[in-house]
Amino acid sequence: MTCRRGPWAARQMTKRLPPTNVELLVSRLSVLACRVKPLGEGDAVLLKRYDDIFASVHIVELSVEVMDAATQLRARHGLKTSDA
């Protein structure tokens, strides 16, 4: 999920999921990235939209090991995180 397109795009994406046992997973890092702009701009409406979306998905906690591995990959190969 990307914050650049806003909550509307996220809602459209979830509507296109097949009506099966599919669960949308989002990292805590994505939650942070999406909430920064509306918080900084004092946009309570946009913040609520994001919070409503995040309340309906499974938030995945990233372990220290995963974060360390991602850091190593970024440093060695110049990769960007998916939220960047």
Local mean pLDDT, 10-residue blocks, the chain (84 residues): 59 65 81 91 93 89 90 89 61
Other residues' Cβ atoms within 10 Å of the Cβ of residue 31? 19
CA 76, distance to chain mean position in Å, is: 24
Rounded to two decimals, the pTM is 0.62
- Give me the pLDDT at residue 13, please: 63
- Give me the pLDDT at residue 84, please: 46
- Give me the pLDDT at residue 79, please: 85
- Give me the pLDDT at residue 38, please: 92
Tell me which residue of 6, 51, 10 sits closest to 31, measured CA to CA: 51
- Give me the pLDDT at residue 44, please: 95
Give the number of C-alpha atoms closer than 13 A to the C-alpha of residue 19, restricted to the C-beta side.
0
